[in-house]
């Protein structure tokens, strides 16, 4: 029996199991998934919990639910990978050997990385919304908050879903308008980037939306510490921003398991070939989803596009064929902008997001980089798409793994 | 476009970053630094050499990586190249503007 081992049963790991089980003969290949969690969270839903748009129940399912039949699931913390001996050590002392390893351990916020962040005020007036607990604690805070300075802050890049903090301020604007207290809330967006987003055309459109909604932006802010006694964040250039309520996206890091395995970059991301998804650590180790160091967004949609190409490459690797160098960094994200509208962006390693129509040139029905109600419907439908198509490894109709230039207004 | 730096015709982009690293020399670095209000010292050059070395190896740079490199602490990096240290030091080093992560 040959063994394919997948580390992490989140979006990417579960998806890979669904892709590969029907393609690999049951008699020859055993597939095993390992994850320490009992719950599979629909993380994009964390954005909606603070504003009482989603209930916590809407974002979770038992972790085994989307795992296909014929795949073993081991619920245990991974301690480390011994790449030289093709062996994975679990925290309970068990070992697992493999012929092929797929690393899909994602990324998590690590507030401990910033001095003063996870102190007495954590979940009192300093919150994150990138975790299940954080999004619920923030919801409870917002329900009774009387207003003041709300600061949305990003510690350092890269973070998963880099547009979620922008969506947060847009939704906050609409939330406080609906509560009839927008005049009591001062919203500021603080980012280490030079503008609202990482790419110029989208930054222009998003900067405009921030201005329209009366949201201030502080850019090029690299946090050094949180001065929680005086309710301010201070950056390396000794500038500071005051808050009454700080919502932050802590440093996002790969699993400490990667560090214990002796590879990974300074943020514990796995060095990965950006076109084939084979790790540069060893031939029989592949990586997918947020765990990689690829220069594209860390998002479920990206994991989906990677999944199609990685599946093909695993099969080629097994057959001793050359790997397909086809991954182009394709990302496709809805950006919720409040008041029942959203934007859509579609881009890759080289093509930045631009205006146009999607997926059908000239027809749409979705609009790129422009607010519309239909885009919002798309965002809300994503939860269904996630559980029923994305995790199952089913192709999304009309949207291919490689980005299409058709319908995009290219300069 | 071309710009005269340290008496040489140098290819730069519209933000003033060199587009051809092979054209770089120390005098060019010094002059770009002066535009940014920085007088170069050995401490500055040590950082510049590290950046250029990483660039030759195709390693993408980040402030965190530089802080962990042992070459300079982040606090000192800001003291040496105030405001946007990575952007300014990359310009002086003659390497492309660091692409902020996506
Ligand atoms: C607030 C928010 C909003 C988002 N919005 C969107 C959106 O609108 N669209 C979109 O496409 N994406 C969005 N995302 C991003 C998306 O959720 C992630 O990109 C996606 O889940 C990545 O999948 P993954 O499998 O790489 O990681 P994950 O799904 O995080 O899975 C990693 C798994 O590995 C396990 N694991 C890690 N280390 C260990 C260990 N040592 N031992 C055992 N198990 C371990 C974890 O328990 C986890 O289950 C959002 C994310 C957040 C936080």
Predicted confidence at residue A305, as pLDDT, reads 96
ipTM given for this complex: 0.80
Residue A156 CB coordination number (10 Å): 19
Predicted confidence at residue B100, as pLDDT, reads 61
Chain A residues near residue B74 by CB distance under 8 angstroms: 224, 236
Predicted confidence at residue B52, as pLDDT, reads 97
Q: What is the pLDDT of residues A310-363, one digit of tens each?
A: 999 999 999 999 999 999 999 999 999 999 999 999 999 989 899 999 998 888
Q: Counting atoms of ligand 1 from 1, which one is nearest the CA of A379?
A: 8
Beta strands in A155-296 (DSSP E): 185-190, 216-218, 223-227, 232-235, 240-242, 245-249, 252-254, 285-287
Q: Which of residues 30-69 of A touch B (CB under 8 A)?
A: none
A235 pairs with which residues across the strands? A223
Q: What is the pLDDT of residues A42-58, one digit of tens each?
A: 999 999 999 999 999 99
Q: For chain A, which residues make up each domain, given as ranges?
A: 2-106+255-318, 109-252, 331-390
Q: Which of residues 206-225 of A touch B (CB under 8 A)?
A: 220, 222, 224
Question: Nearest CA of chain B to the CA of A158: how many Å?
Answer: 5
Residue B101 pLDDT grade (very low, low, confident, very high; cuts 50, 70, 90): low
Q: What distance in angstroms lies between residue A214's CA and the mean position of ligand 1's atoms? A: 32
Q: What is the pLDDT of residues B11-59, one digit of tens each?
A: 999 889 999 999 999 999 999 999 999 999 999 999 999 999 999 988 8
Annotation says B101 is catalytic: yes
Predicted confidence at residue A218, as pLDDT, reads 96
Q: What is the pLDDT of residues A171-197, one digit of tens each?
A: 999 999 999 999 999 999 999 988 898
CA gap A17, A288 in Å, rounded: 12
| Superfamily name and number for A2-106+255-318 | FAD/NAD(P)-binding domain (3.50.50.60)
**pLDDT higher than threshold 90 for residue A199:** no
CA gap B85, B66 in Å, rounded: 11
Residue A397 pLDDT grade (very low, low, confident, very high; cuts 50, 70, 90): confident
> Are residues A274 and A329 in contact, defined by beta-carbon separation less than 8 angstroms?
yes
Orientation angle between helical segments A164-178 and A200-212, nearest 10 degrees:
20
Beta strands in chain B (DSSP E): 2-5, 8-11
Q: Which helix (H) or strand (E) holds B32?
A: helix B26-35
CA gap A297, B102 in Å, rounded: 5
> Are residues A351 and A320 in contact, defined by beta-carbon separation less than 8 angstroms?
no
CA gap A160, A290 in Å, rounded: 7
Pocket of ligand 1 contains residue A301 by CB under 6 Å: yes
Backbone φ and ψ for A111, nearest 5 degrees, come out as -65, -25
> Are residues A153 and A248 in contact, defined by beta-carbon separation less than 8 angstroms?
yes
| Superfamily name and number for A109-252 | FAD/NAD(P)-binding domain (3.50.50.60)
Asked if A2-106+255-318 and A109-252 have one fold, the answer is: yes
Predicted confidence at residue A92, as pLDDT, reads 98
> Are residues B67 and B77 in contact, defined by beta-carbon separation less than 8 angstroms?
yes
């Amino acid at each position: 029996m040959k063994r394919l081992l997948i580390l992490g049963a989140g979006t990417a790991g579960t998806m890979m199991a669904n892709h590969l089980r029907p393609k690999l003969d049951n008699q020859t290949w055993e597939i095993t998934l390992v994850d320490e969690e009992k719950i599979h969270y629909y993380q994009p839903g964390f954005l909606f919990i603070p504003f009482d748009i989603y209930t916590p129940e809407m974002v979770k399912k038992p972790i085994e639910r989307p795992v296909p039949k014929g795949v073993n699931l081991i619920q245990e913390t991974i301690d480390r990978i011994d790449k030289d001996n093709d062996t994975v050590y679990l925290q309970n002392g068990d070992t697992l050997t493999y012929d092929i390893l797929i690393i899909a351990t994602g990324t998590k916020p690590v507030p401990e990385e910033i001095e003063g962040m996870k102190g007495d005020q954590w979940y009192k007036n300093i919150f994150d919304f990138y975790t299940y607990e954080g999004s619920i604690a923030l919801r409870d805070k917002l329900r009774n908050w009387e207003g003041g300075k709300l600061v949305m802050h990003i510690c350092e890049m890269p973070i998963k879903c880099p547009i979620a903090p922008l969506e947060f301020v847009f939704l906050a604007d609409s939330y406080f308008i609906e509560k009839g207290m927008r005049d009591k809330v001062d919203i500021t967006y603080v980012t280490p980037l030079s503008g609202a987003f990482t790419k110029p055309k989208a930054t222009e459109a998003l900067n405009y939306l921030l201005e329209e909604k009366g949201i201030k932006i502080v850019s090029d802010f690299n946090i050094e510490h949180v001065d929680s006694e005086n309710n301010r964040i201070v950056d390396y250039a000794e500038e500071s921003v005051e808050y009454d309520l700080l919502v932050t996206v802590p440093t996002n890091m790969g699993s400490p398991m990667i560090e214990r395995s002796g590879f990974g970059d300074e943020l514990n991301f796995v060095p990965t070939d950006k076109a084939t998804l084979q790790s540069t650590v060893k031939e029989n180790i592949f990586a997918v989803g947020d765990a990689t160091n690829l220069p594209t967004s860390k998002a479920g949609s990206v994991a989906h596009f990677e999944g199609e190409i990685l599946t093909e490459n695993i099969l080629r690797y097994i057959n001793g064929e050359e790997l397909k160098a086809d991954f182009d960094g394709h990302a496709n994200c809805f950006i919720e902008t409040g008041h029942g509208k959203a934007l859509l962006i579609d881009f890759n390693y080289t093509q930045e997001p631009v205006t146009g129509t999607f997926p059908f040139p000239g027809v749409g029905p979705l609009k790129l980089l422009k607010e519309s109600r239909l885009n919002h419907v798309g965002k809300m439908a994503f939860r269904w798409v996630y559980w029923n198509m994305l995790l199952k490894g089913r192709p999304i109709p009309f949207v291919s793994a490689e980005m299409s230039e058709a319908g995009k207004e290219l300069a | 476009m071309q710009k005269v730096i340290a008496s040489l015709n140098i290819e730069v982009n519209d933000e003033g970053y060199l587009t051809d690293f092979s054209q770089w020399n120390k005098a060019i670095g010094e002059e770009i630094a002066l535009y940014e209000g920085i007088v170069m010292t050995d401490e500055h050059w040590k950082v510049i050499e590290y950046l250029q070395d990483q660039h030759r190896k195709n390693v993408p740079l980040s402030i965190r990586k530089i802080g962990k490199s042992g070459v300079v602490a982040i606090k000192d990096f800001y003291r040496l190249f105030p405001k946007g240290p990575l952007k300014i030091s990359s310009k002086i080093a003659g390497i492309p503007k660091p692409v902020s992560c996506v």
